[in-house]
Chains A and B, each alone.
Chain A
Amino acid sequence: MSGRPILWAPLVAFILLAAFLTYGLAKPDDTNITSKMVGAAVPPFRLPPATPGMPGLASADLAAGKPHLVNIFASWCVPCAAEAPQLRAIADAGVPIVGIAVRDRPEALADFLHRYGNPYARIGSDNASQVQMALGSSGVPETFVVDGRGMIRRQTIGPINPQDVADTIAAVQAAR
């Protein structure tokens, strides 16, 4: 041994570096960006109807005393179609679902609802993703649980799978 501990500093620094690299390798690959708005109130917004014959959506609708499921979706999004049966089941269980259609055309949306079913009570049209961004959402589909006072309680990124249905219903009911 040379008796100069400073000479071991590079090795120590490297081991520290390697520890972080190991962490990087071991951590689950999670590229989802979660919304930091969970726990906060839905920001004020007002969206026009996304398709003829259905009402649009405003933030006031979400603070009227009943909890809601807010589904951000689009007719051009493939996983959104896969999610449709689960939303149907949730709506059938008595949970009110409102939709925010991102970058969508009325006729394409009508076709989508006709083909995959319409579980929505209201659908707002968010043509430039402005409300999506205001909610801290970064893709479609995403689903938020909003309680009766208009507070965001939970965010689900990606489609709701069949095994998530019961859990989602429970989350909305717990949000009263």
Chain B
Amino acid sequence: MRRALILALLAFATPVLADSNMPAAPLADVQLADARQEAAATALMETIRCLVCQGQSIADSNAELAGDMRSLIRQRIAAGERPEAIRAWLVRRYGAWVSYSPALTPVTWPLWIAPLAFLAIGVAVARTGLRRRRRR
């Protein structure tokens, strides 16, 4: 029900009744004192998909669970964990869906090959054209 409601409306237009009215998680909206750690946390948050509104990263979401996820990420970064380890932890729980950055796996290699393939096809087409021109 809650999911259906939220998805039916725009992600940012949060329906009034769905919130817990609890204060945000400790580090949901509090930056880490260490600027480098904060930058690493922000970079990671921008690539983690919000589970509630689903159309945004948790860095851009007002959903409470997104705040809780930001808090989790900041805590772990502050504790010295590497961003990719945290991403792996989340992917272990929610699947590849939760990461906006598709890892290089057998399922995604066509995706990563695609840019090169497009370029190669384009160059091949253009070159046959040029060669024909030279032959004239």
Choose, from A18-26, A112-120, A135-143, A165-173, the stretch at the interface: A135-143
Interface residues of B, CB < 8 Å — how many? 28
Q: Is A104 interfacial (CB-CB < 8 Å)?
A: yes
Contacts across chains A and B counted by CB atoms under 8 Å: 75
Collect the chain B residues with CB atoms within 8 Å of residue A78's CB. 1-2, 17
Collect the chain B residues with CB atoms within 8 Å of residue A158's CB. 1, 3
> CB < 8 Å: which of A35, A76, A127, A139 contacts B19?
A76
Q: Is A11 interfacial (CB-CB < 8 Å)?
A: no
Collect the chain B residues with CB atoms within 8 Å of residue A82's CB. 1
Q: In the complex, A33 Cα to B68 Cα: how many Å?
A: 17
User: In the complex, which residue of chain B has the Cβ closest to the Cβ of A105?
Assistant: B22
B-side binding surface: helix, strand, loop or mixed?
Answer: helix
Q: Is A15 interfacial (CB-CB < 8 Å)?
A: no
Q: Is A31 interfacial (CB-CB < 8 Å)?
A: yes
Q: How far is the CB of A30 from chain B (nearest CB, A)?
A: 11
- Contacting pair A31 B3 (CB below 8 A): yes
The 10 closest A-B pairs by CB, nearest first: A136-B93, A128-B25, A138-B51, A129-B68, A103-B20, A79-B1, A103-B22, A76-B20, A36-B95, A128-B68
Residues of B within 8 A of A (CB): 1-3, 7, 17, 19-22, 25-26, 51-52, 54, 64-65, 68-69, 71-72, 90-95, 97-98
Residues of A within 8 A of B (CB): 31-37, 74, 76-79, 82, 102-105, 127-130, 132-136, 138-140, 158-159
